[in-house]
Amino acid sequence: MGGAILVLSGPSGAGKSTIIENASSKIGDYYFSISTTTRKPREGEIDGVNYHFVSREEFEEDIKAGVFLEYATVHGNYYGTSLKPVKEALKRGKLVIFDIDIQGHRLVRAKVGDLVTSVFITPPSLSELERRLYSRSTDKKSIIEKRIENAKEEIKAICEFDFVIINDNIERASNEFATISNASRLKLSKRELEKLVANWENS
Amino acid sequence: MGGAILVLSGPSGAGKSTIIENASSKIGDYYFSISTTTRKPREGEIDGVNYHFVSREEFEEDIKAGVFLEYATVHGNYYGTSLKPVKEALKRGKLVIFDIDIQGHRLVRAKVGDLVTSVFITPPSLSELERRLYSRSTDKKSIIEKRIENAKEEIKAICEFDFVIINDNIERASNEFATISNASRLKLSKRELEKLVANWENS
């Protein structure tokens, strides 16, 4: 079986990283796609682990060179997904997990929709999101306010996703994510389906 | 969380019943929708367990009375799904499993698509299907030939399904079905999503 893509979106503060971490032992072999960004690293973030941190100039050169499967601007910074490592992981039959925003989801779905299952993770309420963002306090107030404004927009796009997980209980949310991941892996690509139909007729 | 619908289709002889039976202990609380049909019971089939067996006259009266969520004609016989028990099971938050054909899948998807996850189960090849149908030998040769002709048409519709399971190993196929069932249960309806967005804005 070929690979599959799982897109994970949701506001900063929704708990995406924790959910992936908790679920990782239950979802078999996967490749986590590391995005490239021009935003500055937060405290504790490591280049090549959390993101590939690059300059605006580098990013714009990569755009011209056709490096990205998708890219978008969020809060004035570029975020993008390099195509090459994704292709290689898919070739090896892996589940590729993307942590991208709603614009990225749209672009990936438009390009390789037959491979995609998507999940939106949301905190239970706006007030809970605010509480989490302020208590995490890795960002300045102005950035937090921007994130909250963004979350208000993002939540309106949830109907575009295959699944929505309400993260009011991290244990349950992580289990739900693992369940969805394991199912998403079973999705056959259009090419695989066409092959199946062709072989069937000759069998 | 509200209920969800899992549609299961595939040629007679694909192993659908065995797969549901094997997976049933792993998929939590579900309601298996019993179809109504005008075809004669096969040996061992029980009215109210495998199907509700009715006459053409009764079926046609039920059509007029608006009893069915979907109905279709297959091999010259009527098959249909009564709406009422499905609605009740969904209300109780259950996963409702339908074993219906590709026409039924289309109708259910058109009516309540936001609740539906669908799985097509296929034997690995046409020759294997023939082998299974003849070794099962519950049907006359003419009926088996009809089933095989039908399978050739059905396989062309697999792209319409969310998932395809190739049943070349009953153990693996049953596990895949359980995984998909558990994920399908997590699907939120359009109404639930709209409620979530509305609540979010006021929270």
Q: Which residues on chain A are in Cβ contact (under 8 Å) with B150?
A: none
Query: Which residues on A lie below 8 Å from B13 (Cβ)?
Result: none
Using one digit for the tens of pLDDT, what is the confidence trace for B166-179? 999 999 999 999 99
**What average pLDDT does this structure show over B66-87?**
92
Provide the pLDDT for residue B12. Answer: 86
Q: Which residues of B touch A199 (CB under 8 A)?
A: 125
Quote the CA–CA distance of B48 and A80 in Å, as a whole number: 56
Is B52 within the bounds of a domain? no
Residue of B nearest to A187 (CA): B163
Residue B130 lies in a domain: yes
Where does residue B157 rank: exposed (0-12), middle (13-18), buried (19+ CB within 10 A)?
middle
**Rounded-to-integer distance, Cα A6 and Cα A116, Å:** 6
* Per-residue burial over A63-98, b = 16 or more CB atoms within 10 Å of its CB, e = otherwise: eeeebbbbbbebeeebbbbbeeebeebbeeebbbbb
Question: How many domains is chain B built from?
Answer: 1
- Residue B197 domain flag: yes
Check B182 against A186: CB less than 8 A apart: no
Say if B120 falls within a structural domain. yes
Chain-chain contact of B182 with A187 (C-beta, under 8 angstroms): no
Determine the Cα–Cα distance for residues B176 and A185; give it in Å rounded to an integer: 10
> Does B203 contact A122 at a Cβ distance shorter than 8 Å?
no
Chain B residues whose C-beta is within 8 A of a chain A C-beta are: 122, 124-128, 152, 155-156, 158-159, 162-166, 176, 179-180, 182-184, 186-188, 190, 193, 196-197, 199-201, 203
> Is B64 inside a domain boundary?
no
Interface predicted TM-score (ipTM) of this complex, two decimals: 0.85
Distance of residue B158 Cα from the nearest chain A Cα, in angstroms = 7
Q: Is residue B68 part of a domain?
A: no
| Contact flag B158-A125 (C-beta cutoff 8 Å) | no
Interface contact A186-B180, CB threshold 8 A: yes
Distance CA B71, CA B33 (A): 13
Tell me which chain A residues have a C-beta less than 8 angstroms from the C-beta of B186. 163, 165, 176, 179-180
Region A21-33: mean pLDDT is 93
- Per DSSP, A159 falls in state G
| pLDDT number for residue A47 | 95
Which residue is it, tokens 């040629």?
B11
CB–CB contact A155 B200 (8 Å): yes
- For the beta carbon of residue B106, count every other beta carbon within 10 angstroms: 18
Of residues A140 and A16, more confidently modeled: A16
Asked if B186's CB is within 8 angstroms of A158's CB, the reply is no
B111-170 pLDDT, tens per residue?
999 999 999 999 989 999 999 888 876 778 888 898 899 999 999 999 999 999 999 999
Determine the pLDDT at residue B13: 87
Give residue B137's pLDDT. 67
Q: Nearest residue of A to residue B152 by CA position?
A: A201
CATH of the domain at B110: 3.40.50.300
CB contact under 8 A, B183 and A187: no
Domain hosting A192: range is: 4-201
**pTM of the predicted protein model:** 0.88
Q: What local confidence, expressed as pLDDT, does residue A164 receive?
A: 95
Residues B128 and A203: their CA atoms lie apart, in Å, by: 9
Across the interface, whether the CB atoms of A183 and B187 are under 8 A apart is answered no
